[in-house]
Structure 1
Amino acid sequence: MILVTGGAGFIGSNFILDWLAQSDEPVLNLDALTYAGNSENLASLTTDARYTFVHGSIGDGALVTNLMTRYQPRAIVNFAAESHVDRSIHGPEDFIQTNIVGAFRLLEAARAHWGGLRDRQEFRFLHISTDEVFGTLQAGDPAFDEQNQYQPNSPYSASKAAADHLMRAYHHTYGLPVLTTNCSNNYGPFHFPEKLIPLVIHNAISGRPLPLYGDGRQIRDWLYVKDHCSAIRRVLDAGLPGQTYNIGGWNERTNLEVVMMLCDVLDELKPRADGSSYQEQITFVTDRPGHDRRYAINAGKIEAELGWRPAETFETGIRKTVRWYLDHPDWVRNVTLGSYRNWIAKQYA
């Protein structure tokens, strides 16, 4: 069995679904079901004997210890995190508690569990992190590789950087077989629509403005979530303990380019009733504080050492993503009620 934390979130739920589509190894999912955690993502597994869900937080050390004692996982994959920069600016404490304190308590429970195993060589702790820990790049700078200095610029990225340092320390000090992956911006099914791509899709078909911060020319590398899941499986299977692996899509795009492409695909798949383009709904809003200008991932190490490359281009991944949201209006409707509307109104006022 493997223990997945934060498995009801965007990347975690995609990972569990893909894992059980390819393996009979059971999954124990521990998730606190905060606003972005959605058990509906995994509704297809309700009667699957290979899947077990536990409602709880990685910050609950006693619960995590009890689960490890009871289920004896051979690996932990840690997705559990607060992950939205905008929310970290408005309320950083949740990010400190989950991303730092929670990671520490999970590590402590894992260390105790690992120490009691007969075959300690087989155990792995895989921590999912972000490229935002590296800070920002200028237009001509080389992409982030695994040797880049950490220079986080938001409460979110600082909390993730702190967790990464704890992972490194627990491997170096105690020998815990930790692996860390730093990924670029993910997109795809089950993405909570506070992030750029699902927000634009939702707003476009709802007839609302498509908000772009500043001039819209911030650059990100984009990674289709199912490609990310395949990379995580590869690192878990063959990665070397103590190593970090950058995972990227080799797709640098400005936010404006992303939104324009989304509008083009929507114009084709779900045209506006008046026949005009969704691009008419693009609205530039005040930039957020400390907005990093460019992220770019050099994923050469994972390709050279583990033989992984993304299968999707940005064009194929975007089309699949738009189609998924158009085909799942009930899911979108259920996650965009109540507090979500209040948050969007506050953020883009």
Structure 2
Amino acid sequence: MSIFRSATLLLVATLGAAGLATNAWSQGRPLTVVSWGGAYQDAQREVYFKPFTAKTGVKLVDESWDGGIGVLRAKLQGGANNWDLVQVESEELQLGCEEGLFEKIDWAKLGGRDAYMPEAANDCGVGAILYNFVLAYDGDKFKGAGPQSWADFFDLQKFPGKRSLRKGAKTNLEFALIADGVKPADVYQVLSTPAGVDRAFKKLDTIKSSIVWWEKGAQPPQLLASGEVAMVSAYNGRIAAANKTDKKNFRITWKNSLYTIDSWAIMKGSPNKAQAEQYLVFAGAPSVQKDLPPLIPYGVTNKRSTELVAKSVLPDLPTNPEYMASALLISDKFWLENLDRLTQRFNSWVSK
């Protein structure tokens, strides 16, 4: 996920838990938690950050970032790491774990791996949310039915106007192949061949002159609201948040969306490892996780959390069986093996 940069200091709300508060204040610095900003991080503050500080007395600072394994490498290799707990995308988690950038998770403290969705329980990460990359458009801007598929997204004659896509190879190559008629189940098999990659870029060529690139998760709803683009790829929660907060009529096409899980990872050598683990225990509790979807509709990862979520929210969650039936899980394996190569090709293609 991508973000607007912000930083908010959450001061200790209570000194009731004397031992915990003493540990927090004796740290060289407060527990620093890094996420994706925008409406999502606003929701995290209300559900996780502030209540955690109020309950434990642990001083917590939250910051935000734009993602990228290079940022994490530089933090540790430069010897100036000031982050403790970072929310990362799936390939960042896998690469970071392999490279020793993260601490191993003590799953016994979290109730065991079986308490979480299988995809959310990793050696170095604890799943935070499940979310989808979806097609979205402004219902007020279309007289008839809006785009109902990725084929529609790529059809400039049927739906003229600018489009916005996340700047990068990942997700766009998948969308291009689906728009070109490849079945979702076959996407990564096709992308694993040179001809398949060529096919994806050839399809992107058909709308290249009409693409407005986004890099931060808050941008797609802003681009729709301004009328700069007719449709976007976006995080489902950002679109829902704009509808709720700004009273927009943005609509989501769930067909063939892409889904993934973002995870919490503890930076290697963090002086606040104990406090970070304490946070993970708190944020993983079903009684706490259930309060996130009503604020922003992302799927939660503790198996018992979903059954506690308000039923009125369930139709908007990406874990809705109707949406999952046609959704494609982003392949960590494929992108771990091909990210650098395809990113180079994508950047070269964009610059031409």
TM-score (structure 1 length as normaliser): 0.29
With a CA cutoff of 8 Å and minimum separation of 6, indicate the structure with the bigger relative contact order.
2
TM-score (structure 2 length as normaliser): 0.29
